[in-house]
Amino acid sequence: MNFSDELIDRIKQKKSCICLGLDPDIDHSNFPTFLKSKHDDNLAIIREFTLSLIDELAEDIVIIKPNLKFYEALGIEHYLNELTQHAHKKDLLVIIDSKGNDILTSMEMHYKAMFNNYNADAITINAYMGEDVISPFDKYLEKGKGLFILVKTSNPSSNDFQDLFSVKLNVDEKLERISAFEVSEKILKRNYIRMAQLVNLWSKRSKGKHNYSSIGAVVGANVPSIIVRNLRMLMQDSFFLMPGYGAQQGLLDSIDSAIKEDKLGAIINSSRGIMYAWNQRFKGKFKDEEYLKAAKEEIKIMKKEINF
């Protein structure tokens, strides 16, 4: 089945577009301390923390997004397979946030690891190296897998490169032959606009019964709404994965600009905002042993704020 169809079916069934980011950091000041006292090893700590969150929130979310780096840092990346299996049993989809970015042969191995070893339903990639990054994905697209390509990200320094203007040269043009005056006569576009145009082109590879592609875009929830509206016009058939709702102060009008009238088109991710809600939004109201209750309350607020 097409990944976008699987996603849409769950959004409609659960009346939710929330993605639970599972980026556990046992050294974070908001990580429940009682779990570290309860278990002797990192894997046991992370297993209880992540699986309990899935069990508590499964009815109110449609997808989870574990960040590969957090599991690699603890030497437990193999646990992602167990995590994915557990999520699937709860009828949740899984995006592994790997942000792969390499040459064609290396990306073949990356896709193989993410989809075969960890059984992800979708992953994130950084395609600023060009189509070599996405080409090996085609055979997984046929198997119903999905892809979210970084376009305009939520991190503070994203404008260092993504916001820069660039010029697309013709095949026979050499950069050293282009003078500043000639450049001024060409069409300048920001790099994130050019990436959005590529995503729109690549998205034609696959469409489901709802006319959405299985190739989506990562667009930060804290990106100004005027930019999100422009990106939505450029990528009408793609789902937006929007991180940054909680800790990175996502903008509700930006989220509104991404979600279409049919309530489709975007999934809203919150990681620290949900995981550590007991000591963030609800600081002083819940104890660390009550992190699940706090996470549940955070989800309720999210659904209300994004009109679901």
| Residues with catalytic roles | 99
Q: Is 181 left (phi over 0), alpha (psi -120 to 50) or beta?
A: alpha
- Tell me the C-alpha distance between 173 and 248, whole Å: 41
The count of other CB atoms within 10 Å of the CB of residue 126 is 16
Does residue 228 contact residue 254 with C-beta atoms inside 8 Å?
A: yes
Does residue 42 contact residue 249 with C-beta atoms inside 8 Å?
A: no
Q: Which pair of tokens denotes residue 72?
A: 């690699």
